[in-house]
Each structure stands twice: as structure tokens, then as C-alpha cells.
A and B are shown apart, each in its own frame.
Chain A
């Protein structure tokens, strides 16, 4: 159960990050979002 809650939280934040990257106009802000997104994706797929 706790694993599902964890996945839902990480997925929710991942979607928000992707939405932020798409909407953002400044390159360096988009880049910062991508750096954080990488860690969220690795978490989401339980790799690291």
C-alpha cells in the first residue's frame, strides 16, 4: 500500500515538472527542471 502511495506522489510531482518545463519560456529554468526531472524518473521507476 505504502509503495502505491509513494508512486502516486512521485508520479504527481513528475507530471507537474513536465508541465512546468513545457510552459516555461526561459531556457535555464527549463534546464533546471530537467535536472530535477531525471531524479524523479529514476525514483518513479524504482531504479535509484
Chain B
């Protein structure tokens, strides 16, 4: 055997070694974080119970149902449509771990795009997870990608025509919030969207809320995006929030922007459709080094400078915009929307108990409201 042959064998062994380590690291992202539902949970289902086409697929996801003893309105809350927008996901987890429903029904899907949690965006340097301290120890949560994992949905078309007929760039075929109302036999992401539409139909949802975040330099921020069937509800919620000192703007869902939850849920499922946005520093293009602390603390010198130059759509100072503030904002908006729904439709009351108070979350953080890790 020649010298370069021996060297080739050693280098091939090195390649296998590197693949093993990096492969284990990547596969580690398929592991789901622990979630400890409140004792008041009525039922736990899967998205595949509403659309069997998702069964045993990475798009299947847990659906948590809390039902009160008295009948009332039915609310759907979606977290994790975009797994790189942690405030929506953590708000959904906070609700699942604390909620009790006295009247009406609340259905929560914390990982709307489950596949998106199983990878993160290449070349962004984002951490795979971040941690929150609870009184019983530290708990970690997955930081994923805006899009479905390409391992689960490939190849992307060059031009994507979504189920609502909008032409988009190919990668958007993996963006859950461009794939509504979904397709029964379409791409995995379209099947997830179809499953969520089935859930809305089967459960006769009265109000559906999609929790999101956006970059601080993006204009639709700290906002309630509403379908025209929910304009009055959104306006009432805005007044309530402004009176409580939560500055929030209203954005009407553009009728020509198709495939988004706040458009298609209203058009196709005829439910009241709302999307909530907060400002996520780790999501923005101006941010410095990505890290778990950037996700949780939301402090960044570049954004401070951008704010001083008047380039942002939100106030940003040295304290940043921490996760607890964004979750508190989502909670306050949810409460305002539920109370607004009752004001407009007294026949649809939803009475919640044990809901973490937005003010307390802002003061003491998220950790005290999460169950200790086991």
C-alpha cells in the first residue's frame, strides 16, 4: 500500500469521526424539550387526530385542550408557527403549564411547525437552545428556524404558488405562515396548514390567535394584525392595552397578501383571525453576535445605535427588549382580546383562571411560572 493510500484511509476515518460528532449534534435538535401541562388539562391530542395525513410525520404536533365546566367561546392559540420567534412559543408553554378554564374552551398548539424546531437556519450562527431559570432548576427550550426542515421537505420549487394562489419564492413553500389554507396532498408544510384548518373547523373555533415576533426594524411590530372580520375586536383590544400602558398598533390584513393565518383563517374557516407581533432582537438583521443570552435578554449594542439613528419601529435602549417583556405583551394582548370578544359577543364568554399576570411576568420573569424540571 502506497503512502497516499494510507493517508487517504486516515483522512476518511477523520471524516467519519467529524460526521459522527456533528451528526449527533444535529440529531440532538430532534429532541423535544420537556413540557409539564397544568393539572387542569382536559385532553391532549395530536394534529394528526384532525388530519390523519400528518400521522407519524415530523409535522405532527401536540394539541392541548382546556375545557371549562360551562359552555362558552372557543379560543385557539398557536405558538411556534415560526420556531425562531420564541415569545410566541414560550407564551403558549406558559399557558399550557398554568391554565385553568372556568368557562369556554382553550386549545393551544405550542409547536405549530414542529419540523421547524428540528433545525436552525444555516450561516446564522444561532444557538440550538436557550435556558430559563425556574425555582426548581434550569429548563432549556429549542430555538429553531422560520422554515420547515429541508430534511423533511425537499426540494423547494423555484417559484411557489401557495394554496391561496399567491406566487412566492421557492423557500416560502416551507413557511407555515404562507401555506394556508393548506393542501391535503401537498408539501409537508401545506399538510400542517391543512391540519390546522381542520382543527379550526372541527373544534368550531370562535377566535384564533397566531403568536409571532419580528425584527425591531420591521414596520409591523408590537402590533395586532387582524382579518376584517375581527377589526372591531382588535380595536377594542388596542384601547384596553393602551389604557394599561401597553403601546400597540393595529394592522389590517391586506386582502391581496395570501396564504397567511390572519387572511386564510378568516376567509376559509370563517373564524375571527388575529396575529400578534412583538419585537425580537435575535431575529433582526442588525444584531451582533447571536447567542442564547441575546434571545432571553434581548440586549444588543447595534440595535441601541440603530434606535439612536431613528431606524427602528420600537423603543430600544441599553436594557434591550427581554423575552419576559415580549411574553408579558403577548399575555396582555390575549387577555384584552378575550375580554373584547365577550364585550362584542356576550354569548361567547371565556373565563380563565391561573393565568400568569402580564405585570408579574414583567416584574419577576418567566421562570417562576414554569414548572420545575424533573
| Chain A interfacial positions (CB closer than 8 Å to B) | 2, 6, 18, 21-22, 24-25, 27, 30-31, 33-34, 37-38, 41-42, 45-48
Asked if B11 is an interface residue, CB under 8 A from chain A, the answer is yes
Chain A interface main SS type: helix
Knowing A21-B12, A37-B15, say if A42 contacts B5 (CB, 8 Å).
no
Q: Contacts A22-B8, A24-B8 hold; do A46 and B15 have CB atoms under 8 A apart?
A: no
Interface hits, B13-39 → A, CB 8 Å:
14-16, 18-19, 22-23, 26-27
Smallest Cβ-Cβ distance to B4: which chain A residue: A25
Query: Given the complex of chains A and B, what is the CA–CA distance between A37 and B7 in angstroms?
Result: 15
Query: Is A46 within 8 A of B151, CB to CB?
Result: yes
CB distance from A3 to the nearest CB of B (A): 8
Given contacts A48-B26, A48-B119, contact A30 B11 (CB under 8 A): yes
CB–CB B19/A38 < 8 A:
yes
Most chain A CB neighbours (cut-off 10 Å) among B8, B18, B119, B151: B8
Residues of B within 8 A of A21 (CB): 8, 11-12
The residue of chain B having its C-beta at the shortest distance from the C-beta of A41 within the complex is B19
Distance, CA A2 to CA B22, complexed state (A): 26
In the complex, the answer to whether B23 meets A30 with C-beta atoms within 8 Å is no
Question: Looking at B16, B18, B19, which has the most chain A CB atoms within 10 Å of its CB?
Answer: B19
Contacts of B22 in A (CB 8 A): 38, 42, 47-48
